[in-house]
A and B are shown apart, each in its own frame.
Chain A
Amino acid sequence: MSAINYSTEPHGIFFLIDNKSFYASVESVERGLNPLRSILVVMSEQDNTNGGLVLATSPRAKDLFGIHNVDRWRDLPHDSRLMIVPPRMNLYIKKNLAINKIFTQFTTEQDVYPYSIDESILDMTHSWNLFGKTPQAAAHQIQIAVKKQLGLYTTVGIGENPLQAKLALDLFAKNSSQLSACLTYNTFAAKVWPITRLTNIWSIGQRTAAHLQRLGINSIGELAHTNPAALQREFGIIGTQLFALAWGIDRSQLEDQLRPRKTSLENSQVLPRDYYRRSEIEVVIKEICQQVAARMRHRHLCTSCIRLSIGYSLAATTINSSGFAHEQKIELTDNSFQLEQQLLNIFSSSWNGAPVRRISVGFSQLVVKQADQLNLFLPPEQQLKQIAFNQLIDQIRGKFGKGAIMYANSLTQGGTFKQRINLVGGHNGGNTFE
């Protein structure tokens, strides 16, 4: 059936290990409950979640009530067995580090690649046979170690390359009674090609799936037997990636550090309500600008390109306009005042008065800061004062925390800085309870 010679492709043993309903499982263990039997949801009840946003659901709650992640508060059933718990992002980060530490008992530290907060890739090529007669047996040992030390259940996808491991995890391991599954070059076609729900496959989203279906490609098998040149013409470089995906080929070398050609820093916020007034929106733009500028100064970088993206409220969204995103070249700087001013100029020139729900600020074309460049057309004292002011703010926050000092305008209506101090990744960090 296969028409590709796999002998020249990389053959290793990779595990992709996922923590089953990670946040919900951590919260269950913290409450002395079995993660597979507890009935709880981790729900963020921040102001901008419209009453509550489900971040994680325990497996049993999923089975009983069909709750999914990112469901809203209104979607939850009124059943007193269902427990709502707030998220604690810092705790999850700590647990993730602990899990990765356990993984280093099974392979070298260099061969453990954290992929997300609850997934890690392990290159077990050189070590799996120390822990069992088969890769599955070694995977089982890892599962036992994590369960014994942290009380958490893990799901393992095994493959001859990271892609196969990821597909084995997503497509088969999660539904297997052993919580593990394996894909190889030999079994790939038989197991993956019949899949017709294309969005179930890693890296294929709704739009790509629709695009493929428009081309008459309705299964992975059909994708594998499409002319790669035609795919490339249609999708560009992604077309060749899709073709490789359909054949289970992944030539990535995980040990090679990827250096992004262009780096940028960005922060965004979904506002707790629609903002109508210019002054309110400007306060949040300034707050986000200060946040990104502080991150940039912390890395000793300067920017020469700023970006402001504004998303309108759903009610104001039309087919032609759901907001705007504009970039602007500026003189190299890390000065919050200048950056704020430039961003507000973009906002003033582009905003049509529609209610705003999402604001994003980004700085790109970053370079390492060599020195402060003074502007010949502005008084030097004023510029030096601004530089010293920014440094002082950074030092105070560095020493006493983000909330130690803030601009008074953050206390005005619309300011979100105060509410967001303890958030990690936009959700409750849980710092105060540790």
Chain B
Amino acid sequence: MVAIPLNNSQKSHNEARLISRRITQYFKPHIKARYQILVVNNKFDQTFNFFFELQQPPQLPHSFPLHRVTHYDLAYLEEIIKQLQSEYGFTFTFRNFTGLFWPNAQQAISVHHQLTVKKNLIHSQSLTKHKSE
């Protein structure tokens, strides 16, 4: 029997399902707990790494690895994220995606980071101004 190769859409669907299964494993609803999904652009290994981050005071924050997407393509990642976001209302944090845009949605991936960069810029500008004064 010859195995039919999966297309990217099917693959991304499978990876999203896998991540989803693992989220279910870690997600235990608690009062005052914060849950978020961290997605990291790992430029060294050329992978996208997924983590489940849990903060439930007074316990210390935990970060559990969920999955590593080895198909290093933003369109592929976008598919996975879309499926996960349709399923979960958690905050998704994107790290090391500064300056990158979702290929289909044409939106900046990590708005938070861009804001931080802008804030830092403003801060450094005001510092320079302050110094020159």
Q: Give every chain B residue within 8 A of A78 (Cβ-Cβ).
A: 58, 60
Whether a CB of chain B sits under 8 angstroms from the CB of A430 is yes
Q: Evaluate contact between A30 and B60: CB separation under 8 angstroms.
A: no
On whether the beta carbons of B96 and A32 are closer than 8 Å, the reply is yes
B68 touches A31 (CB 8 A): no
Tell me how far the C-beta of A206 lies from the nearest C-beta in chain B, rounded to whole angstroms. Answer: 31
CA distance A40 to B67 in the complex (A): 20
Q: Please, how many residues of chain A have a CB less than 8 angstroms from a CB on the other chain?
A: 22
CB-based nearest B residue for A78: B58
Which residues in B have their C-beta under 8 angstroms from that of A29?
42, 44
A409 to B96 alpha-carbon distance, docked (Å): 49
- A330 at interface by CB-CB < 8 Å: no
Q: How far is the CB of A268 from chain B (nearest CB, A)?
A: 28
Report B20 CB to chain A, min CB distance, Å.
Answer: 14
Q: Which residues of A214-228 have CB atoms within 8 Å of chain B's CB atoms?
A: none
- Report the Cα distance A79→B22, complex, angstroms: 27
Of residues 55 through 71 on chain B, the ones whose CB sits less than 8 Å from some CB of chain A are 55, 57-58, 60-68
Decide if B60 touches A84 in the complex (CB within 8 Å): yes
B75 on interface, CB distance cutoff 8 Å? no
Whether A30 pairs with B65 at a CB distance below 8 angstroms is yes
Rounded to whole Å, the gap between the CB of A95 and the closest CB of chain B is 10
Given the interface pairs A30-B42, A31-B95, the reply to whether A433 lies near B62 with Cβ below 8 Å is no
Main secondary structure of the interface of A (DSSP, over half): loop
Interface residue ranges of B61-87 to A (CB < 8 Å):
61-68
B35 at the binding interface (Cβ < 8 Å): no
- Contact A85/B60 with A29-B42, A29-B44, A32-B41 known, Cβ cut-off 8 Å: no
B49 cross-chain contacts in A, Cβ below 8 A: 30-32
A30–B42 alpha-carbon span in the complex (Å): 7
- Count the B residues whose beta carbon is within 8 Å of the partner chain — how many? 22
- Residue A252 CB within 8 A of the other chain: no
In the complex, chain B residues 1-54 whose Cβ is within 8 Å of any chain A Cβ = 22, 38, 40-42, 44, 49, 51
Tell me the minimal C-beta distance from B56 to chain A in angstroms: 11
| Contact A31 B40, beta carbon cutoff 8 Å | yes
A201 interfacial contact with B, CB 8 Å: no
In chain B, what residue has the closest Cβ to A88? B65
Q: Point out which of B40, B62, B65 has the most chain A C-beta atoms below 10 A from its C-beta.
A: B65
Return chain B residues, CB-CB under 8 Å to A430.
65
Question: B60: which A residues are within 8 A, CB to CB?
Answer: 76, 78-80, 82-84
Nearest CB of chain B from residue A48's CB, rounded to whole Å = 19
List A contacts of B51 (CB < 8 A): 31
Question: How many whole Å from A126's CB to the nearest CB in chain B?
Answer: 30
- Scoring A residues 294 to 318 as 1 if CB is less than 8 Å from chain B, else 0, what string do you get? 0000000000000000000000000
Chain B contacts of A88 at CB under 8 A? 65
Which of the residues B42, B55, B64 comes within 8 Å of A80, measured between beta carbons? B55
Residues 27-65 of A at the B interface (beta carbon under 8 Å)? 29-33, 40
